[in-house]
């Protein structure tokens, strides 16, 4: 791969593929050669699916989830509980929570976490629209489902301060030992928190 490839166009495609997260130059070459060797129809279908997605996929006006309409499939689903808003960092966390099948409320996609190191401030996130939604009388609770990192905690605290004037219950996800985890291998911070936040044992 240190050698020059026999075509500048091939090389360009490899460079583009290698920009994707987790794709190195070797993998990029393997993928590009695959695309080069399949039929024209298949390769164009691949490229066009990306162009179409980029051109037509928008974000939901309400929760900033990915959508092809003005409002996303979750916001426009009449069976969802409109009084609950779950605040997530990105669509990845939204999909992860959806796949549990345990949550039937709505979402609010922030589009990141406050991170001064990466130059991301509160103005870069969808916090103003969250505040507007929180002012709606229908809302009974806002669940902060950000990761337990410094950035996640900072963002949680910023939102808490921002929504302080509105009387609305805020909650975060329960932290504790993962289901199926061995106690001896659990890190001390998680174990410590799980002792402090212990729950009553109900005999089942």
Contact footprint for its own copies (CB under 8 A): 1-10, 12-13, 15-17, 19-23, 27, 29-36, 40, 42-54, 56-57, 65-68, 72-74, 90-92, 95, 98-99
Do you know the residue count of the chain?
204
Which CB, 38 or 197, lies closer to its own copies? 38
Which CB, 48 or 171, lies closer to its own copies? 48
What whole-number distance in Å separates Cα of residue 138 and Cα of residue 118? 35
Which CB, 55 or 188, lies closer to its own copies? 55
What whole-number distance in Å separates Cα of residue 120 and Cα of residue 113? 7
- Closest distance of CB 122 from its own copies, Å: 19
Which CB, 49 or 149, lies closer to its own copies? 49
- Closest distance of CB 25 from its own copies, Å: 11
- Closest distance of CB 169 from its own copies, Å: 27
- Closest distance of CB 203 from its own copies, Å: 33
Q: What are the backbone dihedrals phi and psi of residue 19, each rounded to the nearest 5 degrees, phi first? A: -75, -20
- In what side-by-side order are the strands of the sheet with 105-109? 105-109, 81-88, 141-144, 170-172
- Closest distance of CB 40 from its own copies, Å: 6
Encode burial over 117-141: b for 16+ CB neighbours within 10 A, e otherwise: eeebeeeebbbebbeebbeeeebee
- Closest distance of CB 14 from its own copies, Å: 9
Which CB, 35 or 168, lies closer to its own copies? 35
What whole-number distance in Å separates Cα of residue 43 and Cα of residue 40? 5
Residue among 101, 94, 105, 90 at smallest CA distance from 138: 105
Which CB, 94 or 130, lies closer to its own copies? 94
What whole-number distance in Å separates Cα of residue 122 and Cα of residue 126? 8
Hey, is 115 helix, strand or coil? strand
């Amino acid at each position: 791969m240190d050698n020059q490839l026999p075509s500048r166009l091939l090389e360009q495609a490899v460079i583009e593929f290698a920009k994707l997260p987790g794709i190195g130059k070797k993998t990029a070459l393997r993928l590009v050669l695959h695309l080069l060797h399949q039929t024209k129809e298949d390769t164009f279908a691949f490229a066009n699916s990306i162009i179409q997605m980029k051109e037509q996929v928008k974000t939901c006006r309400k929760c900033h989830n990915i959508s092809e309409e003005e409002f996303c499939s979750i916001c426009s689903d009449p069976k969802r509980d409109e009084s609950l808003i779950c605040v997530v960092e990105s669509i990845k966390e939204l999909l992860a929570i959806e796949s549990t099948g345990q949550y039937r409320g709505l979402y609010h996609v922030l589009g990141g976490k406050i991170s001064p190191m990466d130059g991301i401030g509160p103005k870069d996130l969808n916090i103003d629209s969250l505040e507007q939604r929180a002012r709606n009388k229908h809302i009974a609770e806002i669940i902060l489902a950000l990761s337990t990192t410094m950035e996640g905690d900072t963002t949680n605290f910023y939102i808490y301060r921002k929504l302080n004037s509105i009387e609305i219950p805020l909650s975060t996800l329960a932290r504790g030992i993962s289901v199926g985890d061995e106690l001896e291998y659990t890190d001390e911070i998680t174990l410590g928190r799980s002792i402090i936040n212990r729950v009553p044992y109900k005999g089942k």
